[in-house]
Structure 1
Amino acid sequence: VSGGIDSTVLLYLLKKITAEFKLTTLAVHINYNLRGDESKENEKFVKNLCYRWGIPLIVHNVSITDESNIENAARKIRYGIFRDLLRKYNFNKIVVGHNMNDQAETFLMHLFRGSGFTGLKGMLPKGRDIIRPLLAFKRDEIAAFAKKNNIQFSNDSSNDDLGYDRNKIRHRILPMIQEQFNPTVINKIYDSSHIFQKTDMFLQAHSKDIFQDVVRQNDDEYVVLLDKLKQSEVLYFYVFRRIFGLLTGSESDFYSAHLSEIYELLRRPGGKFIHLPHNVFVVKSANMLIFKMSPPDYAASDYSREIKRYARQILFDDYYITQSEIKVMPIHGFNFHENDTCYIDFDKVTFPLKARYRKPGDSFFPLGMQNPKKLKKFFIDEKVPRLERKKKIIIEDQNRIIWVAGMRIHEYVKVTSRTSHVLRIKIMKKLEGYRRARRF
């Protein structure tokens, strides 16, 4: 329950039918803390509403670390919380308040991203663990119902922020289409989504047979046998998308553009691999395509990101790398044993820095040792599993490796009593967890 009109009307309807259908309802409010005092007031509104209506409420206060796509990050956190509570309290369904306008907006967002039939089908009225009772109603119909029944709700100012893609579609693109092309476009998109849902079901069913025929699992890799690639590219979109989902836990970020990249890899004589979202690599090898979560050995030298002197943050695969300069150095005030952070003598590094994966022949002078060591030998001595070695991020300056992330810095760049200012580098995985929930 966000406190907005859709979720408040939905909660009102559930309250009305609870006794008749013997339902047990639990409301969940998630405060993303993105709007300061307004977020607090919104949370307070939902608490008071649930108290008046006699509905138990759980509130989660969370922080979004992935600021590159706040909408997507919030959605992943939100549904993660919902499903955790579903299992914990043994509920049957998650009930959400999406309406017909939301469906039209989602359709256009997926169309612009090239997500294929799977995206164009939009949101389902009923899924595995989710139901959307308001999906067949437009936003103005819900507003009229709220007014007729004197249902109070809270307005979220972020819904008017054109910095969000959905709001651009809601406030600019859809009104323009309604005015200049078709005033019933929302209904038309809703009807079309049903056709795409049936098409998607048909293609999903056929692609399962192809998957069994052409895909082999080898430990943490999925191998596609190229000599069996005889079907339509449309069906292989589903095969590759399924592999992507098995590796990452979600198929949602695999789009038609990625299918084009894979086929371009197959056509390109010199192509060896491509890099997909969430650190998925597709490697061409003889008569196979290999999908894996770590780069091939030769990919290490091909993928890197430069870190300039004044860059506060860069994105490297699924990680944010941040750097900051600390000019006053109370050595006793720092925890030098944080796995995700290193502190080094600022004056001993030469910019720009570079983030990359390991390369054959890498060596460095690990902190506390008397002699340099090959990185391979260092990993063996530190008992780093073979599959994990390829995933280790290396930070280097113009002269040397200065940090093997999560493990050791170079002896030369360590902080000493003579250090005048410090460079702090932190590596943080996108979409880190949310803070502990509070129950009311």
Structure 2
Amino acid sequence: MYLTGFAKHINSNFSFLKEKKLLIAISGGIDSVVLTHLLHQLKYNISLAHCNFQLRGKESDLDEVFIKNLSKDLSIKAYTTQFKTEQFAKELKLSTQLAARKLRYDWFYELTQEYDFDYILTAHHADDNLETFLINLTRGTGLEGLTGIPVINDKIVRPLLAFSQEEINNYATKNNIQWREDASNAETKYLRNKIRHEIIPSLKELNPSLLESFTKTSAFLKQSQQIVNDKIKEVYEEIISEDRGILKINISKLVQLSNPKAYLYQLLKDYKFTEWNDVYHLIYAQSGKKVSTNLHTLLKDRDFLLLLRTDKKSPSNQEPIIINKENTRITNPINLLFENVHQQKKINTNSIYVDKNLLNYPLSLRKWREGDYFYPSGMIGKKKISKYFKDEKLSVFDKENIWLLCSNDDKIIWVVGKRQDKRFFPTSKTTELLKMSI
């Protein structure tokens, strides 16, 4: 690697970086230090961000000192922070490596927001890419996991991915660049290091051009992934619709595809489901069956699979909201307006008119319960809320999102946004007319 070669590479492939404010993630190791020197010489607008994970005692502190001295020598800004990584990992029940990764990237993004950095640059190189490929292959992965580390991912940019570890090492040696050695990189207790020090050298004995061969294969896999992405976008538009924040997957159209299970995985892989057999079996399950993660629930509802974000702080778990006579508006959990009016106008599902003197205050806004019933407008007699929901063909998600406005004697005034209870209708004897609206 030469400065001119790197300059040509970055001008051709990363021209958008030239006038931007860049934050380099720097550990003090050879890769990130070389990236810093290269961009500094090319006069890019760079700053450094270093995390002290406090995992190697005095060595971690010396890494931090090294970064501060480097920033002074190059007259560039350095941001440093310290983390109690092991404590954090224990609290979140993560491996030390995953905990460090989360801490690192969360902090990088905080810096970009606070100081208006355009991009975060990391020093991943071609050998890192090969290692990641082998790790994913070992653990089991789909096509996406075999495409390696992305060159650009949101604000993360990796300008060194085209260069090998050997090229970076040679550049550092020829230019007398100093860096910090991390002794833990030589240990083989971590999977990545085992692959780096034991597996890859053996593979290179079989094929001295292993890195070049992998780079070509990776490019082909990325092209294949793009074809898959294009097809999934086409299928998505054909079989998925959205209704009030709920994604609806049309089951009859899904099962007509050549491989419904594979398509379902591609459509839902970003939603963190892990029990994919259970997800697939929902297609043929009874209505009401569901599979959930911490963030999402997938529900079988007649002819559709419904995907909804799961919020553990959902209003369905709230205590009833109390509404006093003097309240003219509430904004949580929904927006309701209460207006004293003189004349009744045309009503719709978002507004009703009631005889205010028939209300028993305070009112309450709550979720439905088994046994609830009301006297629906336009119908004869009373009906259980559960039967009304069934007749309206509401999904489980729809039911969970519906609120009941009730009088203090627990009589239902309004299935909000759906149907009014006729017991509170205004009559010719009404003296106080109240309009309730969403």
1:109 aligns with 2:126: no
> Does the aligned pair in 1 maintain the 2:125–2:162 contact within 8 Å?
yes
Cross-structure match for 1:284: 300
Deviations for 1:125-169, whole angstroms, at most 9, x for unmatched residues? 334423222111111221111111111111123323434332222
Cross-structure match for 1:310: none
TM-score scaled by structure 1?
A: 0.57
The RMSD of aligned alpha carbons is 3.1
Q: Given the alignment, which residue of 194, 201, 224 partners 2:249?
A: 224
Q: Which runs of 5+ in 1 are unaligned?
A: 245-252, 297-359, 362-385, 389-440
1:239 aligns with 2:264: no
Q: Distance in 2 between matches of 1:48 and 1:197?
A: 40
> Does the aligned pair in 2 maintain the 1:71–1:164 contact within 8 Å?
no
Cross-structure match for 1:172: 198
Q: Distance in 1 between matches of 2:229 and 2:77?
A: 39
> Does the aligned pair in 1 maintain the 2:251–2:283 contact within 8 Å?
no
> Does the aligned pair in 1 maintain the 2:232–2:266 contact within 8 Å?
yes
Alignment of 1:273-422 (within 5 A): 273-276=290-293, 278-294=294-310
1:88 aligns with 2:102: no
Give the drift of 1:27. 0.7
Matched letter for residue 177 of structure 2: I
With over 3 angstroms needed to count, the CA separation of the structure-2 counterparts of 1:387 and 1:105, relative to structure 1, is: farther
Matched letter for residue 48 of structure 1: N
Matched letter for residue 142 of structure 1: I
Matched letter for residue 41 of structure 1: L
Cross-structure match for 2:375: none
1:204 aligns with 2:221: no
Give the drift of 1:269. 8.1
- Identity over aligned pairs, percent: 31
Secondary structure in 2 matching 1:55: coil
Cross-structure match for 2:329: none
Q: Distance in 2 between matches of 1:33 and 1:39?
A: 6
1:44 aligns with 2:65: yes
Matched letter for residue 253 of structure 2: K
Rg: which structure is higher? 2
Matched letter for residue 279 of structure 2: I
Matched letter for residue 236 of structure 1: L
Give the drift of 1:24. 1.4
Cross-structure match for 2:342: none
1:262 aligns with 2:279: yes
Cross-structure match for 2:34: 9
Cross-structure match for 2:148: 122
Cross-structure match for 2:426: none
Give the drift of 1:38. 1.6
1:137 aligns with 2:163: yes
> Does the aligned pair in 1 maintain the 2:287–2:300 contact within 8 Å?
no
With over 3 angstroms needed to count, the CA separation of the structure-2 counterparts of 1:269 and 1:285, relative to structure 1, is: closer
Q: Distance in 1 between matches of 2:291 and 2:276?
A: 11
Q: Distance in 1 between matches of 2:311 and 2:304?
A: 16
TM-score scaled by structure 2?
A: 0.58
> Does the aligned pair in 2 maintain the 1:107–1:189 contact within 8 Å?
no
Deviations for 1:295-318, whole angstroms, at most 9, x for unmatched residues? 99xxxxxxxxxxxxxxxxxxxxxx
After alignment, is 226-235 or 186-195 more displaced? 226-235
Q: Distance in 1 between matches of 2:139 and 2:286?
A: 28
Deviations for 1:380-427, whole angstroms, at most 9, x for unmatched residues? xxxxxx979xxxxxxxxxxxxxxxxxxxxxxxxxxxxxxxxxxxxxxx
Q: Distance in 2 between matches of 1:125 and 1:295?
A: 33
Give the drift of 1:16. 0.5
Q: Distance in 2 between matches of 1:28 and 1:87?
A: 14
Secondary structure in 1 matching 2:46: coil
1:98 aligns with 2:124: yes
Secondary structure in 1 matching 2:152: coil
Cross-structure match for 1:53: 74
Cross-structure match for 1:327: none
> Does the aligned pair in 1 maintain the 2:126–2:211 contact within 8 Å?
yes
Matched letter for residue 70 of structure 2: L
Q: Between Structure 1 and Structure 2, how many residues are aligned?
A: 284
Alignment of 1:144-159 (within 5 A): 144-159=170-185
Q: Which runs of 5+ in 2 are unaligned?
A: 1-25, 313-368, 371-398, 402-438
Cross-structure match for 1:308: none
Q: Distance in 1 between matches of 2:196 and 2:226?
A: 28
